[in-house]
Structure 1
Amino acid sequence: MATVNGSYPGPTIYAREGDRVVVAVTNRVAYNVTIHWHGLKQRRNGWADGPAYVTQCPIQPGGTYAYDFNVTGQRGTLWWHAHIAWLRATVNGAIVVLPARGVPYPFPKPDAEAEIILGEWWHADVEAVEKQGRALGMAPNTSDAHTINGKPGPLFPCSEKHTHALQVQWGKTYLLRIINAAVNDELFFSIAGHTMTVVEIDATYTKPLSASAIQLSPGQTTNVLVRADQRPGRYFMAAKPFNDAAVPADNKTATAILQYAGVPASVLPAPPRLMPETNGTGFVAAFHDRLRSLNSARYPAALPLAVDRRLLYAIGLNIDPCASCPKGSRLAASLNNITFVMPRVALLQAHYGGLKGVFTADFPDRPPARFNYTGAPLTAGLGTSLGTRLSRVAYNASVELVLQDTNLLSVETHPFHLHGYNFFVVGRGVGNFDPTKDPSKYNLVDPPERNTVGVPAGGWTAIRFRADNPGVWFLHCHLEVHTSWGLRMAFLVEDGDGPDESVLPPPKDLPEC
């Protein structure tokens, strides 16, 4: 397995709002590597964003690249991970951005803080697992376990040393920084006997929200306050999958232990809290509908009210011909009927280096063919095409993007991550998006602000953002299996006026392809 500095998860990066961060990455494994700083906006600095063949060529074995970036206007919990193939299964870690000195949290100050990283584990080389699935034209094998801070817990046939324990003092309050670093699974999280108060999502503050369980898609982070006010003992923290589609999943529950100081490890933990059903769509919808931006004087919700560009992207799973596959076909995925093909040269380098023929800037604003997106399954598909096609966006344009799930093969939830930006989740629903009726239900006051959002199975999600960060920015499903099948695209945001609205020059040590 590939790790960073010999640990899984890798080391936490601590910074303060306004800091400059430099991370030298040396590749000592047999695979090409890049690192993505998930959720950091990288203002005018896509060179430090990290997705392979989008903003940089990968770091080849034996090579080094120094990621150099500023943390501007952000604070909270983010994370870093490999952004090439499936290496992020074990190459990941937390990013904790503290507020600027002298700036308090907009919630009661906790007595202590801890990172909780939810992961996914295979008893095999994940690169070999993905390669085997690709050769067969099928979905790769599901994972063998989930983990909490790298350990599966005692519900698996493991010893106590394979269980993460968080020690707490009675009467004190703890800020847990929870990250879903799983490769393909959406997860629920809960703590037996304790209520959590959500105060932040994706490094943006929220109105306090009390919850017995929370749900995170791969890529999302959630900060919760937990008060250690129960009878001193040992209590299970648990993570289990949310899966409302007819597809295989690792359905096992990972556990860790919240342990009160002075309680011996021989005490049996309280059973895990009864969590939502694995297919608990109703719970997930209600939880996300309750999330609200803090929208205070210090932290306003800077939501674009007027829209310059309206986009509708239909999400499709499809079957493509494959002469080398045993069944003569392979599973694939598409946005607006386009299965995205990764280039051999990084898109950002190609654009600013004037290289021709690497991509076209004609990604369609809406599906080429309208149909009943969430009706009866259309197993035959609609005729997808392969292409490296970007969507060109004018600098500072306000964009509304509706992500529409479809019933091509099956309906399924899809967590989408947009690089380079936060966005506001103004609406979500089931069925087909209705451009006449559904916008009247948008939350245009205090919608949640995120960098990764779930599209409900057989439904839609509407987001808005202002394109004020020039460069090439990846948009993709954060289920790695779908990304590898082509469920991805990129925005080419043009430079504005003058150097302060233009992409920075590339660093001298930028890797070459």
Structure 2
Amino acid sequence: MRWLLLLGVVLTFGVGVSPAQASRANHYDFFIKETKITRLCHEKTALTVNGQFPGPTIYARKDDVVVVNVYNQGNKNITIHWHGVDQPRNPWSDGPEYITQCPIQPGANYTYTIIFTEEEGTLWWHAHSDFDRATVHGAIVIHPKRGSTYPYPKPHKEIPIILGEWWNVDVEQLVKEVQRTGGDVNISNANTINGQPGDLFPCSKDGTFRVAVEHGKTYMLRVINAGLTNEMFFGVAGHNLTVVGTDASYLKPFTVESIMIAPGQTMDVLLEADRATDGSCNSRYYMAARTFATNTNIDFDNTTATAILEYVDAPPSAGPPEFPNLPAATVEHPVDVPTHVDEHMLVTIAINVLPCGPGNETCQGPNGERLAASLNNVSFGNPSIDILDAYYYSIRPPFVFNFTDSNLTNQLWPTKRATEVKVLEYGTVVEVVFQDTVILGAESHPMHLHGFSFYVVGTGFGNFDENKDPKTYNLVDPPYQNTVAVPKAGWVAIRFRAANPGVWFMHCHFDRHLLWGMDTVFIVKDGKTPDAQVMRPPPNRPRC
């Protein structure tokens, strides 16, 4: 299968895979370019892939290799990340700029080789440079390998549902404004479902995304939060949702009225089309998404995006669609939670400030300083060459205080800028406890780790207690994810085995926090055998 993606970037075919893998490869071309897009009665030019917003869906099966040739026909540097794909031994195709590669420059191209191994379900791809993923993103659907099937009845149809955000202004200008003023990012003008804000907004009725269903059939909604700044609630009026997977991993099914999904996360949910079609019920129902805000100290986009689910085998309804009530493992998929931990890490999460600039210059952050963000009080700074081609550092332990005390002194606001990373021996079992802090306001944070999925073994509110809280861990059947939402003024504990050599990014998936420095890098050393060592770099990788 071959796609033409007009994002101004085209992905080319890669190296470093075996002949057997290469024979199974699906090839896609991504073209990145500027495209005129109209939403909310407003037209703007933005980067897209193959002229589509959202971009094309990549389809694969478990254990497939997909090769994407990205051609940058845009006017700025760009990279593409395959969110949630572990990429064993292949950090060269992971995508974050200046971490595993130099960006693809305008007029250039780069081939990404995407190696699927344990992933099965829904993931997504997106730009990993500046705020470009606002329009440069798309779904990845990984079906079971041939001869296998889902651990539940196969749905009648599968529908990607991509939640996002829309700004009437050029997102590149958003970045420049934040860098210039040191203040916060202007909130989006609307939330979106599959690129559309829905018919509650002006000039949007004709573009509203619609889903046609038939009574008695089951549909899988592959829900992705591609938003830059908003965690979101999502629901379908008159229907329950049965969650069967998250981040391309199955979990014990549970049924809810609505879900909360953080930026970067994916959820596979089953919808039973069980409403009456004899005219006694409505034939149209809103799908809706709106922001879940945890930090009341900042503005947020409180708009509601809508799509319409419509029964095609029922008499048409005269009135408006019904609106949802949104709140303000199998043998083939074994659970293998590490019970012994080699390295314990406590990583504090904070919004901070940095000095504004030379002289008496002032910024729009607190106390006239520049807003920043940190992990363990270090605001990450990208080097001028990518780390994978460069050098090793060491991330420091946290500065310890009462992280959730509502009366913290402003002496804790400042942080420092540095490029510090954590080096791990191959095979090390790592437990990371993410601890939110109330510096400049407590907030939920979606933390994403490249190169690995991890078990979410524990979560709680308040300060993590290393003596008490591990006794409550779930080491039997915890969720297996690549992005986890750290609760406001709380903590989350994750475990993974560092058996994927390379350079791997870890960061908050709120893009303004990433811009401010809430990120770091794990460097996993090579193991002793050839299959435990990083693949050779592709010859055509971009240069800085």
**TM-score (normalizing by structure 2):** 0.88
The answer for the alignment partner of 1:259 in structure 2 is 310
The answer for the alignment partner of 2:526 in structure 1 is 495
> Deviations along 1:321-375, whole A, 9 cap, x unmatched?
1125445411001111111000111111114xxxxxxxx42212x31x2110000
Contact 1:315/1:405, CA 8 A, preserved across alignment: yes
The answer for the alignment partner of 1:186 in structure 2 is 231
- Aligned match of 1:450 in 472, 481, 496? 481
Contact 2:354/2:416, CA 8 A, preserved across alignment: no
The answer for the alignment partner of 1:338 in structure 2 is 378
The Cα of 1:470 is off from its aligned counterpart by 0.4
The one-letter code of the counterpart of 2:341 is: V
Answering whether residue 454 of structure 2 is matched by residue 423 of structure 1, we say: yes
The Cα of 1:267 is off from its aligned counterpart by 4.0
Contact 1:178/1:221, CA 8 A, preserved across alignment: yes
The one-letter code of the counterpart of 1:409 is: L
- Residue 383 and residue 245 in structure 1: after superposition, are their counterparts in 2 closer, same or farther (change >3 A)? closer
Q: Where in structure 2 are the equivalents of 1:46-61 lying within 5 Å?
A: 46-61=91-106
Contact 1:471/1:503, CA 8 A, preserved across alignment: yes
> Deviations along 1:365-389, whole A, 9 cap, x unmatched?
x31x211000023333264221111
The Cα of 1:199 is off from its aligned counterpart by 0.4
The answer for the alignment partner of 1:282 in structure 2 is none
Mapped to 2, the partners of 1:411 and 1:504 lie a distance apart of 41
The Cα of 1:73 is off from its aligned counterpart by 2.3
> Deviations along 1:234-283, whole A, 9 cap, x unmatched?
10000011012111110000000001114577744433211111xxxxxx
The Cα of 1:394 is off from its aligned counterpart by 0.8
Q: Where in structure 2 are the equivalents of 1:289-438 lying within 5 Å?
A: 294=329, 296-323=330-357, 324-326=361-363, 328-351=368-391, 360-364=392-396, 366-367=397-398, 369-375=399-405, 376-381=407-412, 383-438=414-469
In structure 2, the gaps of 5 or more residues are: 1-45, 278-282
Contact 1:234/1:267, CA 8 A, preserved across alignment: no
> Deviations along 1:25-54, whole A, 9 cap, x unmatched?
011111111000000000000000000000
Answering whether residue 209 of structure 2 is matched by residue 164 of structure 1, we say: yes
Mapped to 1, the partners of 2:204 and 2:197 lie a distance apart of 10
Mapped to 2, the partners of 1:236 and 1:479 lie a distance apart of 27
Contact 1:423/1:450, CA 8 A, preserved across alignment: yes
Structure 1 segments of 4+ aligned residues over 6 angstroms from their partners? none
Contact 1:234/1:263, CA 8 A, preserved across alignment: no
Q: The residue matched to 2:411 in structure 1 has which SS?
A: coil
> Deviations along 1:402-431, whole A, 9 cap, x unmatched?
000011111111000000000011111111
The one-letter code of the counterpart of 1:194 is: H
The one-letter code of the counterpart of 1:478 is: H
Mapped to 1, the partners of 2:372 and 2:313 lie a distance apart of 53
Q: Where in structure 2 are the equivalents of 1:140-159 lying within 5 Å?
A: 140-159=185-204
Q: Which moved more, 1:154-163 or 1:231-240?
A: 154-163
The answer for the alignment partner of 2:252 in structure 1 is 207
Contact 2:353/2:415, CA 8 A, preserved across alignment: no
Q: The residue matched to 1:372 in structure 2 has which SS?
A: coil
Over the aligned positions, Cα root-mean-square deviation in angstroms equals 1.3
Mapped to 2, the partners of 1:183 and 1:382 lie a distance apart of 24
The answer for the alignment partner of 1:276 in structure 2 is 327
The answer for the alignment partner of 1:198 in structure 2 is 243
The answer for the alignment partner of 1:248 in structure 2 is 299
The one-letter code of the counterpart of 2:91 is: G
> Deviations along 1:276-315, whole A, 9 cap, x unmatched?
11xxxxxxxxxxxxxxxx2x32211111110000000111
